[in-house]
Each structure stands twice: as structure tokens, then as C-alpha cells.
Amino acid sequence: MPVEKMNEMLGLYKAYMEIRDDIFFEHVLFSYQWWILLFIIVGLWILWGVIVDKNRIVSILLVGLLTSIIAIVLDDIGLNLMLWDYPYWITPFTSRMDPVNIAIIPVSYMLVYQYMRTWKAYAIMLVMASLFATFIAEPIFIKLNMYLILQWKYWYSLPFYIAIGISAKWFVDKLKRNSA
């Protein structure tokens, strides 16, 4: 890549980040949406810490880690393709919906994994949770102006939620079988 183009791109990115910082500190920080996002992160992790099965914590945490990593990667892809955006974010350092990627998604999948031990029970609860996320939670985030759909329909998320859950359980169960 020519140096001039790289410098032009960096200059535009610097201007973009300055605008984002201004927006964050003038409009986002301490807004009711920001407080909701903060509550989601803190509240869900406290809840999880209280109810997690300590005897299975390693495999449960692995499910959470995998689902969080997948969510972050998919979110970055969607943001870069301009499929969606987030008018509110928890810190000025990221444009991702971190409360979803590092709290709602991992905690939800960990709880489903913890309580639904058979594949049948897990699949049923996974579909129910995915339907809830797709048709209730996402529209609520849209109504609260915390999720902006650009070239996406919220129902497109349904197969991704299901695939994330199936992949995580399959991988962790396989890892447990191989180490036993």
C-alpha cells in the first residue's frame, strides 16, 4: 500500500475517533442507555457468579469464552460491513456492543449449558433462548436506540444464535470426552 494512502486513511481515522470521543463524552456517557449497558454487564456477571455450578466451572467458562469470542468476531464483521451500528457504547475505546458480547451472550449460553445437560434439552432451550434474543431482546434494543439496523433484519440473527450455541456445546463436550 502506498504510504500516502496509508497516511490519508490514518488521518481520516483520527478525525473519526475525535468525533466519536466527543459524542461519547457529550451524549453517551451517563445517558440512560449507558446505565442500562453498565447494569447488564455488572448484573449478569454477579448473577452468574452466584448461580454457577462450581463443580463444572471450567467447562461452563469455556462455553462462555467461546461464545463471547465468536460474538465479538461476528460483531466486528457486521460493523465493518456496515450491517448495523450502535449509537451507545460502554467505553470510548470500542464501537462494539460489549455488554452483549461479553455479558448477555456468554452468560446466557453458560446458563443453558449448565442446566440443559442432554443434547435434546439443550437444543430446545437454545432455540427458545435464540427466539427470545431475536424477536424480543433485539427489538427492545432497537426501540431504546441502542441498536441501529442498517443492512440487516434482526431475524437474520436467529440462525447465528443457534449455530453459536451448537458449536460451543459440541466443542466443549468433545474436549471433555477427549480429556477423559
CA distance 156 to 10: 33
Judged against a pLDDT cut of 70, whether residue 32 lies above it is answered with yes
C-alpha cell at 122: 439443550
Over residues 4-30, mean pLDDT: 94
pLDDT of amino acid 1? 67
Return all residues near 82 (Cβ < 8 A) that are at least 6 apart: 150, 151
* 115 band by pLDDT with thresholds 50, 70 and 90: very high
127-138 pLDDT, tens digit per residue, is: 999 999 999 999
Burial 31-70 (b: 16+ CB within 10 A, else e): eebbeebeebbeebeeebeeebeeeeeebbebbbebbbeb
Q: What is the mean pLDDT of residues 95-121?
A: 95
Residues contacting 34, CB < 8 A, separation 6+: 28, 88, 90
